[in-house]
Structure 1
Amino acid sequence: MSTASIPKCPMCGKPRSAEHAPFCSTRCRDRDLVKWLDDGYAIPAEPVHPFADSERDDAV
């Protein structure tokens, strides 16, 4: 099997381990978890005013 067909760890790029899939190690798995918990991942979007919906409901 060539190294090109082995999926890589999304954190460091090393070949991933079946035990820690999709990561290569516990360290990379934990780094990903910390990134999620620290709001490191986000979907790009326009900021929304927190009262935008309630102001619209009051006008009706």
Structure 2
Amino acid sequence: MHIHGHTFALAGSGLRKDTVPLRPMESMPLELEADNRGDWMVHCHNVYHAEAGMMIPLKYT
């Protein structure tokens, strides 16, 4: 999973990232500070997956 325009911390570790590998149906708690207003994308870095719908907008003002 990759988030454009932001970094996030892996919950409890403090490690800052903008991409984290996840297996199918896996989840991971993240700490994201929404401090960069605008229209961004969250998507899988596997192009086939992104084209198949594993891409969502992240929008806030």
Task: Tell me the TM-score normalised to structure 1 length.
Answer: 0.21
Higher share in strand: 2
Q: Choose 1 or 2 for highest CA Rg.
A: 1
Task: Tell me the TM-score normalised to structure 2 length.
Answer: 0.21
Which structure is richer in relative contact order (CA contacts within 8 A, separation 6 or more)? 2
